[in-house]
Structure 1
Amino acid sequence: MLVVERQVFSARRMVFQQEGYLFDLHIHDPETLTFTLAGERRAGPIPTLHMVAHGKPFGPADAIYEDIHAGARAMLAAGPTDPNWILVRHQLTELLSDLAACESQEVCRWLAMSLYREIINAYLLHRGRFPCEFGNIARSVQKLAPAFGSLLTGACDRLFIGQDAADLLTIGYQVLQEIGGPLTAGFSFQFPAHFRAPAATSPARPAA
């Protein structure tokens, strides 16, 4: 439940039980709520953004709420802001490399779970959709890209059941190529000479 007050010292969350009901209150004023919505759009997931955009108000409503409601719906319609693609590429590159070299089936399964999440995250963000638009990444990919979701699930099944990571690696590298390729792609390794020069010696401090 979201509570919007005229002004609060700081946003806060209260969880309590009363008369057999569990209450989870998120208390904001317009300024803290707008900051929170922008942060969710930038970094996800988006529970508050989704609640404000699609929730139904009760109690007195005024122009402040209507402005926030309209703003949240506009944020959802605009989709997520572009992430730091270098970081996304780094995470995918690292996980794919580790899985390809992994010899322990138990470790492969842990890596596959992380890779599953990162593949969906990159795939949906690249298409301008929120990875957690429908609550979690698994539900979101099945609703937004069911064919891709089924393909990815099948690849994970083959790793967990048949100990075959080939299909999951193939899908991961395909998604990685869509967003710019492995982390090293597009960067030069012909460093200027001064990059390799010894560091300058710090000047001696004058005697006191």
Structure 2
Amino acid sequence: MADSVRQRRLDQLMAAYIAGRSLTIAVAIDNGAGVIRLEAGLWPGPIPAEGERGEEAFVFTKSAHAELVVAQCSSTSSIDALKIDFEIAAAAVGATWEQPVKVLAAAADEIRELETQLDAWNKSGGLRTMNAAYKQYRALAVATAAPALSYSDYLHAYKVKVAHLVGQNVARGLPKHTGILALVPDPLPSVPWRK
């Protein structure tokens, strides 16, 4: 498989995992005129408008914490002053946060672990339900003369759903692999990674 396709698939798995975690990110935005403000939104966060740039970002597992911290941080002319305000506000509300780089590194570790686990399950027959769904999908495609996904593309669609479920489980404090083996992809999955 080409490296670009593999990288795109890994990016999709990471995006699904992070979306499942429902992380909120606060971004320090510099308007270019000497004013830096803090805005919060779901990952990947607020997008700076034209002429603005994101300076610093802080990731929260609880959106209420992000909103409280953002509400307490006033606009300032210095990123250093904003960081100090941010740390004081976060400590005051008991909010825990991480840098996006750490969140992405943890997500990459989770995806590697997930792919290893799914490969082991596939080799040991643990993905029988998914494989049966693929056979039905192929039979339907052949019967209707519709184009069909390859097994690897179908398996990737399944992995994306699993990555999202694992992210949700982590966010809820459940064991990571809860409900995975019962999860079956849609009979006719979309193919966003081919675009």
TM-score range, shorter chain: under 0.3
TM-score between both structures, scaled by the size of structure 1: 0.24
Which protein is bigger by CA-based radius of gyration?
A: 1
- More relative contact order, 1 or 2 (CA 8 Å, 6+ apart): 2
